[in-house]
Structure 1
Amino acid sequence: MTDAEAAAALSAGHLVILPTETVYGLAADAGNAKAVAAIFEAKGRPRFNPLIAHVADLAGAEAIAVFDERARALADAFWPGPLTIVAPVRDRERVCDLARAGLDSVAVRVPGHPRARAVLSAFGGPVVAPSANRSGRPSPTTFEDALEETGFAASAAIDGGPCAVGVESTVVSVLDGRVALLRPGSVTRDQIEALVGPLEQDGEGHRSPGRTALHYAPDAPVRINADRAGEGEILLGFGPGVGDPRWSLSPTGDLREAAANLFRMLREADREKPVGIAVSPIPAQGLGEAINDRLKRAAGFVG
């Protein structure tokens, strides 16, 4: 599999097994919500955590994220390499809502693996690539393990040899003048503090991949498992003939389409200033488990 072929697969909306220096990832175009939803589906028992947007260089990072001087200093010191920087999002289209878990920040890094950067350069945009394991299993650090875990979902796969680091990247947030360590990794706290000074206490863990996500909750109250809209409510339907087609998460009852539309439709409905947002019942299997978890949190039943 050549780098150009892998990039073409990403452009076509397919998933690709991608080597990095940390672990093998299951990669997709960060701006393609359906492709991102397919990652959650393939991994099984999905959670709507924010995903890391992988880019080829610092210019690619600053095209999608707003970096201040400290973020640039970290990037200069540790990129390419196993450090992820969480910063305010600049381009919401190139890293879709589903990839960001509906947040106003984006997690971004330049991987150290040469094959990963070659694919990213050929693709020309950000690529999300969470670890290529099924949920609850160890992250794959060899090509063979990655294929065994989620190769069934990928249309292309690149053998980059054993991962040099073997643990997920360190995640640091640089937001509102604060720098905080959200997830430890091979770039250590001491190394980071030597560059930017003492780190803040972790108060933004929901912004980090690999942590429980704080799901987007609209201003309007959310009512789940609704069979119709109440007075002044907007109904987000699911399935054929349910509600106004404009507000259907999936007119055909496709869970992948519903997951891809969820964050966007909650936000768009909220902009209408309704009395409330009602949501049709969503089947609990597959991606439906994640959709229901997300909706329960938005409705105030969880977290």
Structure 2
Amino acid sequence: MSAAVQALRAGDLLILPTETVYGLAADAGNAAAVARIFEAKGRPRFNPLISHVFDAAAAEAIAVFDDTARALADAFWPGPLTIVAASRPGAVCDLARAGLDSVAVRVPGHPVAREVLAAFGGPVVAPSANRSGRPSPTILADAVEETGRFAAAALDGGACAVGVESTVVSVLEGGVALLRPGAVTREQIEGLVGGLHDDAQGHRSPGRQTTHYAPDAPVRIEATAAGDGEILLGFGPGVGEARWSLSPAGDLREAAANLFRLLREADRERPTGIAVAPVPGTGLGEAINDRLRRAAGFVG
């Protein structure tokens, strides 16, 4: 653990487990370190990065929260929700915010991430530890395979419990907008704050490229069967082979946790393509389908 914190303080990169996916982490206030993340990921443009902090008080040190933001933080932190709010000056470098006047912040729930954040004492950016556009890593080995050569240290937190990136909401302009679906669902957020505003601020959120989370093999969604040379990722009882099922029981949480791992494992078989059976779009299924549409090259 001390080596991990020392790496951050030295301006080096760290592979960090969270409950969502493994991140490639750096000191959010160190522009040179943040630039190394973009270089390591081959990120095609400077999208804003999420600043991870230990608690809500640390979040309010870098972001301006209103009562709605505090209500969201109280309900869902620590956990897989990112809040985009007006930025306070100083703690998060311009590059990490992509030059915007807003900052994306969350309090992760993974105990290893929380221990690092407590010891480091400042915000840490940690986008997924994959090359840009590739499926996010949910186990340490996949993270190391993707970007390990750029990291000075790596921490093993086991398999990520959630398996898809955090939900991102904006609390700017007097309302709440859903910028990226995730494990905290639209229904949960609406149950707390009421109706959501239209998403007109997608540029403030990471993970919004047209093609994203994609393996090398082409992805075909809403598939009822595998074509020649394809692997079918099934969902629900009796759909496809058990080995390649996102969830044989049709459980959305299980499907989310398995999504990126199975995309990677299928890709290693060098198929002509990866077909994915229909997944319901309600609840957590909204986030799963968002990732699948982007993996297939469609804007969600």
User: TM-score with structure 1 length normalisation?
Assistant: 0.68
Q: For residue 118 of structure 1, what is the amino acid of its counterpart?
A: E
Q: For residue 128 of structure 2, what is the amino acid of its counterpart?
A: S
Question: Residue deviations 1:70-99, cap 9 Å, x none?
Answer: 0000000000000000000013x2110100
Q: Distance in 2 between matches of 1:29 and 1:124?
A: 10
Question: Following superposition of structure 1 onto structure 2, how do residues 61-140 of structure 1 map, counting pairs within 5 Å?
Answer: 61-91=59-89, 93-140=90-137
Question: Does the C-alpha gap of structure 1 residues 45 and 79 become closer, same or farther in structure 2, counting only changes over 3 Å?
Answer: closer
Q: How many residues align?
A: 210
- For the aligned residue pairs, the C-alpha RMSD in angstroms reads 1.1
Question: Residue deviations 1:254-292, cap 9 Å, x none?
Answer: xxxxxxxxxxxxxxxxxxxxxxxxxxxxxxxxxxxxxxx
Q: Distance in 2 between matches of 1:10 and 1:78?
A: 27
Find the counterpart in structure 1 of residue 20 from structure 2. 22
SS in 2 for 1:178: coil
Q: For residue 176 of structure 1, what is the amino acid of its counterpart?
A: E
Q: For residue 103 of structure 2, what is the amino acid of its counterpart?
A: V
Q: For residue 37 of structure 2, what is the amino acid of its counterpart?
A: I
CA contact (8 A) 1:206 1:212 kept: no
Offset, 1:134 = 0.7
Question: Residue deviations 1:184-231, cap 9 Å, x none?
Answer: 001001100110110001011110111259xxxxxxxxxxxxxxxxxx
Q: For residue 164 of structure 2, what is the amino acid of its counterpart?
A: V
Q: Distance in 2 between matches of 1:27 and 1:21?
A: 14
Offset, 1:45 = 4.3
Question: Following superposition of structure 1 onto structure 2, how do residues 94-243 of structure 1 map, counting pairs within 5 Å?
Answer: 94-211=91-208
SS in 1 for 2:25: strand
Question: Does the C-alpha gap of structure 1 residues 105 and 68 become closer, same or farther in structure 2, counting only changes over 3 Å?
Answer: same
Q: Distance in 1 between matches of 2:184 and 2:169?
A: 10
Q: Distance in 2 between matches of 1:139 and 1:27?
A: 14
Find the counterpart in structure 2 of residue 35 from structure 1. 33
Q: Distance in 2 between matches of 1:24 and 1:126?
A: 17
Please, which runs of 5 or more residues in structure 1 have no aligned partner?
Answer: 214-303
SS in 2 for 1:100: coil
Q: Distance in 1 between matches of 2:43 and 2:66?
A: 36
Larger Rg: 1
Q: For residue 114 of structure 1, what is the amino acid of its counterpart?
A: P
Question: Following superposition of structure 1 onto structure 2, how do residues 222-301 of structure 1 map, counting pairs within 5 Å?
Answer: none
Q: Distance in 2 between matches of 1:72 and 1:179?
A: 12
Q: For residue 28 of structure 1, what is the amino acid of its counterpart?
A: A
Find the counterpart in structure 1 of residue 44 from structure 2. 46
CA contact (8 A) 1:171 1:183 kept: yes
Question: Residue deviations 1:93-122, cap 9 Å, x none?
Answer: 211010000000000000010100100010
Q: For residue 74 of structure 2, what is the amino acid of its counterpart?
A: D
SS in 2 for 1:98: coil
Offset, 1:19 = 0.2
SS in 1 for 2:177: strand
Question: Does the C-alpha gap of structure 1 residues 200 and 64 become closer, same or farther in structure 2, counting only changes over 3 Å?
Answer: same
Please, which runs of 5 or more residues in structure 2 have no aligned partner?
Answer: 211-300
User: TM-score with structure 2 length normalisation?
Assistant: 0.69
